[in-house]
């Protein structure tokens, strides 16, 4: 039996009316691990620790965004994301890393904002702040 492999779809989200795509290639994961000591593939506590640290979170976003948006700089990430977005960012980053939404205690998963809605498909479109998903492909 032959397994069909293909690159995962990036997680799409909107920030200030612009669409961005977050995807973690092996190169992005390697840079986070080897260059910065951030091991996001361990999941669980390691991921939560990284999300709680503003410097690490900026690096995670930078490397995940740079895959699809090579023009983005770390300075741009630090200037455009703020603490009010943290709860909305966690499931977006979790989905981009593992292909499924991260489950945080007392936080609705993406597509279940206020207990309504559902996800379909691999990609998720999200609007930070309101986290409004639309159907993926």
Q: What is the pLDDT of residues 14-53, one digit of tens each?
A: 999 999 999 999 999 999 999 999 988 776 677 777 777 8
∠ Cα 127 128 130 (to 5°): 75
Task: Give the Cβ contact number of residue 135 at 10 Å.
Answer: 12
pTM for the structure as a whole = 0.69
| Burial class of residue 16 (count of CB atoms within 10 Å of its CB; 0-12, 13-18, 19+) | exposed
Identify the burial level of 19 via C-beta atoms within 10 angstroms of its C-beta, where 0-12 means exposed, 13-18 middle and 19 or more buried: exposed
pLDDT at 119: 35
Does the pLDDT at position 4 exceed 70? Answer: no
More confident residue, 40 or 102: 40
Mean pLDDT of 48-75: 91
**Domain coordinates in residue numbering, the chain:** 11-127
What pLDDT was estimated at residue 85? 87
pLDDT class of 111 with cuts at 50, 70, 90: very low
Band (110; pLDDT cuts 50, 70, 90) = very low
């Amino acid at each position: 039996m032959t397994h069909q492999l293909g690159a995962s779809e990036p997680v799409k989200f909107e920030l200030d009316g612009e669409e961005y795509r977050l995807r973690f290639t092996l190169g992005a994961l390697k840079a986070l691990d080897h260059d910065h000591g951030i091991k996001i593939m361990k999941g669980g506590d390691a991921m939560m620790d990284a999300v709680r640290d503003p410097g690490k979170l900026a690096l995670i976003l930078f490397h995940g965004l740079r895959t699809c948006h090579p023009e983005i700089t770390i300075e741009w990430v630090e200037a455009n994301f703020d603490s009010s977005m943290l709860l909305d960012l966690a499931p977006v980053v979790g989905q981009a890393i593992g292909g499924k939404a991260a489950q945080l205690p007392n936080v609705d998963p993406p597509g279940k904002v206020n207990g309504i809605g559902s996800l379909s498909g691999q990609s998720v479109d999200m609007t930070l702040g309101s986290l409004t998903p639309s159907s993926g492909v």
